[in-house]
Every structure is written in structure tokens, then in C-alpha cells.
Structure 1
């Protein structure tokens, strides 16, 4: 197979994937469509398709890096690959580039060369390359180029044995070639529902190819090895108020209800908040202190929500003042898994985990909320 200049493309057959480094660690390289509200600098894993890919993959995808940077072209992604992807030792790298190349009139041959170099780097670190097709755009002049470049990516992937995530078909309005209305914000970026749909597509495609794995969720109340050493699976509620022992409830004073509920697929109980006429958020909080500054800790758990209200998991580094989001849902999800890793910032004296049900009408439940000190386990 050759590019537009007649140069042969490097090839990569499926058989060579067997020799790639096995594991569940996935990095995502892209522009603002990949980055979304994820901010590595503040450890905020906000709404983005890499976040939803992890949450909707039944624990098989471990998102170790969102290497999306707003406004970047493919050459800029290539330039920072060694510093922004390689150190995270991914087993697979999802690459979605091209929107800003097209916006800035980069030629197809230059885009091809950059993408081939990125794929070469992915293979060199023993990871599996995955192509994300360029999403649609509402700008008429850019539509034909988007289709043309996606056509090249499709054929290159077919010749090279590379997995394709067809974000274009997923998000496009067939009648116009623009974003489907439900997935559009500004004609360039997907809506929140669009990011969820992209994450689901990524999970559906990648999860079956990755080894069976799951976050280290607490599964019994006798477990004292993790950072919540008492009532980790929420079986006890001494005063019967619907808030499990070890957790503190706060927020609006009326129009809500707490309960501990059972899900046959989740060990222990789920702590549930039902919002009806509450004008304020209602939340549950629990902290931990078994760490040193610089430690890497992971927070994982299960979340189920009917999508009627915004459901959020927030981490606060008390003493330092920083906050980070581990999960943020405004769409229905059943037993979504969240798993995020954080480095404890200088000045932190405790870490607070807040499970928040925002105002509105809806039901959200959390279970098996488990913080783990990865450094103490020799895993960082």
C-alpha cells in the first residue's frame, strides 16, 4: 500500500499483536476532542471519552494517560510522544488526530507521514496502535477533507491490521454530514452524550481484546488491607439512617432520601441517594490519611445512576487545596467502574472522597469505594 506521494506504507499485521506487551493500560493521544475536560495538571479526570471507555469496559480498560491537548496537530502529537505517552507504559495507544491539521491546511502527505511515525513509535514501545477516525464537523469546507482522510485511515488500518474506532459514523448526521444534533456542541466538539457514546464504542471494541482484569475493589467487610479498613463494603449502618458507618452525609436538608440497597452483582451494599425536591446537592464523604506526600494512590468503585441528575465522585487533597474528579455522569449507567490514580501533592494532610448527587430528580448509588496506596504496595 502506498501514500499519496507513492511511498510504501509500513505494515503491521495482526499476528504481531500477539507479541505486544500484554496488559490493560491504555493511553489516548489526541487534541481537544480527546482531552475534553480532563486536566492532567490538576489530576482532574473530567468528562471525556477516555474516561467513559474505562468506566464502561467492565474493568478491562485502565486509562493511564489522557494525552489530549487542545489545538494540536499530528506533528505536535508526534513531537511529545516520548514524554507524554511512553513513560506511562501503555499496552495500547488510541490515536485520534487530524481535525486541527485540516483546520490549518496541512496536506494529506504530511498528515500521513506524521501518523506513520506515531504508529511506529507505538510499536517500538510494545503497544498496540488503535486508530480513532476523525469525528464529523459542521464547517462545509472541511467536510470533504475529513471524509478523504478518514478513507485513507480506513485503508491503512485494513492493510496494517490496526483496530479502528469509527467515531465518524457514530457521531455524524447521515443527511447533512455534520454532527448529529444529539452529539453536537459547537460544530467541532461532541456533546457530553457524544463523549459517552464514543467511550462506549471504545469499550465495546477494545475490552474483548484485553486480558480479564478489574480494579482492586473491596469484596468483604473483613478486609483491613486497603485504606478504608472498616466497613469497606458498606454492610453496617449502626443508627439506621441509610448512611453507612464510616461515611458522613451533608448538603440540602429536605427533598432527598438515603438508603443502603442490594445489587446481586455487587458485594455488600450500595449507598444510594434519591433526589426529589432538593434544591442543593446531597453528598457523602469519607477521608483517609495513610499516605506520604508523593505517594501514588488509586481510587476505584462502582456507580449506578438513572441519569436524572449529575452524579460525581470528587477527591480533595486537604491542606493542599487541590481537587480532582474521578467520575462524572449525567447519563444512565449500570455498575459503571471508575478507577483513577493520583499523586499526593505537597502539603496534603488528608484525602477526602466525596460522592455527590447534584440537584434535580434522580437516583444514584455507589458501592465498593476503595482507595489503595500503590506506592506502599510497590506498584508505583
Structure 2
């Protein structure tokens, strides 16, 4: 069986066969159950997804590609249903994070069976020329002594299996557990089993640190505009430097429901790596309504075009009352046709980071609309918003 070692830049083949080169990309697939399903659907990306946090911590040096996850699935079901679907799109990803086994523990599946199933998952991914990332199971509040023992033994087995195969390991259990009780650390969980967005942030930091440690991050940067005049960006005023009427809202944007919000264009603080100005929105109190601001009629796409979207972002949303922010891209003047939700129900303070995503323009779409929806209280900053038509630029295959 081929091995992947952190001290070796590639797989080292078994003595009976040739070695295989490690994928050079930084695209990640995710495989799992409801904890992974919390990342959102094919369009919306929310703060309960640990990988979204990890990518933000690393300024998208690791990129989300796809996930296959279903609530309630055991490791056997994941192998039967999701693993074939994952392999069918193996050209889209380089690594796969596998977080599975929580439901096996809940269903009293024997630990050796769980480990055999996970071994099959990891080895199948390796055989496909990709790198599996083994993840330990999070804590389980209210677990019986039998369940708690199975969690610990399963995690021991995952660690031993990762070492045997020479694949990366992310110890989510260690990041989330209260060492006194073996439950979740207070504030990290939404219920007995699932992390909340704060728990996901903690998981994301550990995932990011681990990927940095094994060299999985690529020398890649999101294709952000860095100049006011960027004709390849079909969003004008990308650096938010133009505000003709001095109302704090940059040219090209309109406010459709202020709901107690204030807007301003703010110079980056000393040392902040942001070109141009921040587009800042603050809601001092929870008015009970939602602030909506938008830029509409972005013409620059045709059906079938692959579009890359990136921006700088930071937020303070954890006050009392807490805020919630979303940034959604729609078909122009049609909020019933969402194309990509880069930030969906985002409800946690976020350091300055880069957000990146891609979508394929569907049939009938030749214009885009960007909506920001902000409820509760807090402050969000947007910068360097960039739309690239990769297909029109001849970059579709990269």
C-alpha cells in the first residue's frame, strides 16, 4: 500500500510497486455524516462548516471543492453511497478529509468494524492517487460509559491507522473536548453531537494548522483586484474608492433596507493587506429587521461560464445581540435563483481573511446580482470584491 509521509514530498510506494506522486493541487473534498453536512449545500457556505473556517484562516491556500455527507450515515453507508460519488469526480479534488464514525458509535457498531470501514475509505482514496485526511471523532455529550469507551477506542484506531498508512491526521477530539468531563468544551456544541459555529471555528483552526504543517497549502492566491482600473473584473469600483454622493455607500451599490445600519468607506488600518478601502456596515442594535444592500446587473457572463468570486472580509458579530451576515450571488433581479452563497448566516467574529468561490453560470443567466443581508447587531467589512470570468479568459481548465 502506498504511503504519504509528512517528511516526504510524495507517496512512497510499497516495495512491490512504483511510487506515486502526491497531488500538487490544494483542492479539498469532504466526506462524512451530518457534522460534515453542516457545511451547507452545493450553493450556501455557512459558519458551521469547519473547512470554510480553515480556508479563511489560510486565505484560501486550501480550497473547498465538493462534499458528500448525509446525516445519520455510518461508515459502511459512506463507503457504499458517498465514496463512489466522490471517486466519480476525482478530477476536481486533491485531498479528502474523512470525518466518519459518530453514528457507528451511536448504533453500537463494534470498533474493529468501524476501523475496517475507515481503512477501506482511506485506501480507496489512496488508490485513486489522492490523499485522505483522517479526522478523529468529536466528543459526544451525555454518552454512556460504553459509548465513551468506543469514542476513545475509535479515535485511537484512527490515529494508529493514519500512522500505519502514513496519511495526515487532524485530531478534532483534542480540539473540542473538555478534559474534565470528556464532553464538548462549553460553548462549542449545538447539541449532544454537533459542533456549533464556534466549535467549527476551533476545528477549522486545527485543520488549518495541520494542513500547514504537512505542506498541503499551495502557493496560490485568490485572484483579487489590486487596482481601481481592472477591466478583467466585471464589477466596477472593486476597491470601493468611489463614492460620488459621499453617503458612505460606494458607487454601483444601493441600499434597499437600511434598518438602522450605517455605512462608511474606511481606510485599512495600519498593516492590513487590503487595497483601496473597506466597505463597512454597522448595526448598533437589533432593529428586528434586516439590512439589505446590493449591487445589481453585473453583465459579464453567459450560460456555461465558470466564474470565480473573491473578496476580503472581516466581522465582529458576537455581541449581545449577536449579528448574522450573508452574501449571496443571484441571477440578476431574481432572488429565487441563487448561484453562490459565499457567506451564509455567518454569525461569528472573523479575522481579516480572503473568501473565494466558483460557480457555473446556468442556462438563461447573463447577469448577476450580489445581495448582502445583515440582521442583529455588529459590523462587517468588505474589500477588493472581484469577479473573474474564467471561461472568457481561457482559464477554464485550471
* TM-score > 0.5, shorter chain as reference: yes
Aligned length: 366
Report the Cα offset of residue 261 of structure 1. Answer: 1.0
Equivalence for 1:331? 348
Equivalence for 2:293? 284
- Which stretch has the larger CA shift, 313-322 or 259-268? 313-322
Equivalence for 1:303? 313
Measured in 2, the distance between the counterparts of 1:105 and 1:60 equals 39
Q: Which runs of 5+ in 2 are unaligned?
A: 12-20
Q: Which runs of 5+ in 1 are unaligned?
A: 1-9
1:236 is aligned, of 222, 238, 242, to 242
User: Is the CA contact 1:320–1:346 (under 8 Å) kept in the aligned structure 2?
Assistant: no
For the residue of structure 1 that corresponds to 2:391, the secondary structure is coil
Normalising by structure 1, we get a TM-score of: 0.90
Q: Does 1:17 align with 2:33?
A: no
Q: Deviations over 1:86-140 (max 9, x none)?
A: 5153121111110112222323333222222221222233222211101111222
Equivalence for 1:7? none
Normalising by structure 2, we get a TM-score of: 0.86
User: Is the CA contact 1:271–1:366 (under 8 Å) kept in the aligned structure 2?
Assistant: yes
Q: What is the Cα-based RMSD across aligned positions, in Å?
A: 2.1
Measured in 1, the distance between the counterparts of 2:384 and 2:113 equals 48
For the residue of structure 2 that corresponds to 1:34, the secondary structure is helix
For the residue of structure 2 that corresponds to 1:181, the secondary structure is coil
1:176 is aligned, of 157, 177, 181, to 181
Measured in 1, the distance between the counterparts of 2:105 and 2:164 equals 24
User: Is the CA contact 1:135–1:168 (under 8 Å) kept in the aligned structure 2?
Assistant: yes
Equivalence for 1:372? 388
Change (3 A) 1:299 1:155: same
Equivalence for 1:93? 96
Measured in 2, the distance between the counterparts of 1:125 and 1:320 equals 40
Q: Deviations over 1:336-358 (max 9, x none)?
A: 22112222334435321122332
Measured in 2, the distance between the counterparts of 1:24 and 1:13 equals 16
User: Is the CA contact 1:256–1:278 (under 8 Å) kept in the aligned structure 2?
Assistant: no
Report the Cα offset of residue 334 of structure 1. Answer: 2.0
Q: Does 1:266 align with 2:263?
A: no
Stretches (4+) displaced over 6 A: none
User: Is the CA contact 1:305–1:333 (under 8 Å) kept in the aligned structure 2?
Assistant: yes
TM alignment of 1:34-45, pairs within 5 A: 34-40=36-42, 43-45=43-45
For the residue of structure 1 that corresponds to 2:373, the secondary structure is strand
